[in-house]
Amino acid sequence: MTTSTAQAAPIETTAARLRRGAPALLLLVALAVASLLSGSIDGLRLASPDRSHGDQLRRAIGDLPSGALVLIAFDADLGTYAEIRATTRVAIADLAAHGARLSIVSFTPEGRAIAAAEIDRANRAGTGESLADLGFVAGAEAGLVRSVESIVPSAARGSTIDAIRERGGGIGAFDMVLIVSGSDISARSWVEQVGTRLPKLPLVAIAPTFLDPELEPYLRSGQLTALLATLREGVAYARAVSVGPESGPGRSVGPLPMLVGMLGALGVLAETAFRRLGRRGRRPPGRRAPS
């Protein structure tokens, strides 16, 4: 009797451990199956079926003359840059592939921090020599207005810098401006402060989704030549552009594993909430919960 009881105890312990670990094991299996099927299941589409916005940007880049000077105004913010990071990198690679001479400038501290990280990434990838760093211009919109006449730092050197100086040294020296928008300085600031002073300068923009309602009227009026302001538009553009593996956004996770992971996380949260409610319901009457 004692021997059988002793043998049953480890078995019950093992079974209890298996029951506790079963949800995690099932989630891992579901993620593995979803990863295998994500390449063949076409039910979830991240890219927008409407490719007009991406085609506008591709057309604007394709119309640039050989050796065009393009200014990248990097003023994204840390909270929303993750949404547009891949699209921005593809656009920069697209411009470089068309032979544009690129310069980067920022008018916000957050934008400068992100731009510095992107320049460092380009240097590590061996493509940083094609980017002329114009640094940070203080003063927000006031600095933007001053830059219409002069945007090149006095200490800046290089062939692209020399070409900008030969054309006057201000924003008007560029053939196009790519605006990486954020909450402080967006494409709206460029349209109102620069577009009114340089109406023939093409302005194209990449912006997080929350700015889309604000910027769409400028696209419809023609004050913006092109605009990518939703994640789906950015994905559609990235798929349409042929870029090398070093310049592209990198391999992305398929939508099906992401969906399974989100559902699993919601299940864990729901289970935790129900357990807390159950413990409160079993608490003897008259006893207060510990403060």
Q: Are 37 and 252 in contact (CB under 8 A)?
A: no
Q: Each residue of 215-269: pLDDT tens digit?
A: 999 999 999 999 999 989 999 999 998 644 334 444 444 555 666 666 666 666 6
Confirm whether pTM is higher than 0.75: no
DSSP letters spanning 21-55:
HHHHHHHHHHHHHHHHHTTT--S---S-S--HHHH
pLDDT band at 94 (very low <50, low <70, confident <90, very high): very high
pLDDT at residue 15, as a whole number: 63
pLDDT at residue 237, as a whole number: 93
Q: Each residue of 22-52: pLDDT tens digit?
A: 666 666 666 666 655 555 444 445 666 778 8
pLDDT at residue 51, as a whole number: 85
- Return the higher-pLDDT residue of 135 and 18: 135
- For 209, other C-beta atoms within 10 Å of its C-beta total 15
In angstroms, the CA 107 to CA 139 distance is 7
- For residue 121, pLDDT beyond 80: yes
pLDDT at residue 21, as a whole number: 61
**Residue 179 DSSP symbol:** E
Average pLDDT over residues 111-137: 89
pLDDT at residue 4, as a whole number: 55
Q: Each residue of 167-192: pLDDT tens digit?
A: 999 999 999 999 999 999 999 999 99
pLDDT at residue 133, as a whole number: 94
- Quote the crossing angle between the two packed helices 52-62 and 81-97, to the nearest 10°: 40
In angstroms, the CA 53 to CA 57 distance is 7
SS3 percent helix, strand, coil of the chain, rounded to 5, is 55, 10, 35
pLDDT at residue 243, as a whole number: 44
Residues ≥6 apart with Cβ < 8 Å to 257: 31, 34, 35, 38
Question: Burial of 18 by CB count in 10 Å (0-12 exposed, 13-18 middle, 19+ buried)?
Answer: exposed
pLDDT at residue 20, as a whole number: 65
Average pLDDT over residues 98-114: 95
- For residue 58, pLDDT beyond 60: yes
pLDDT at residue 34, as a whole number: 60
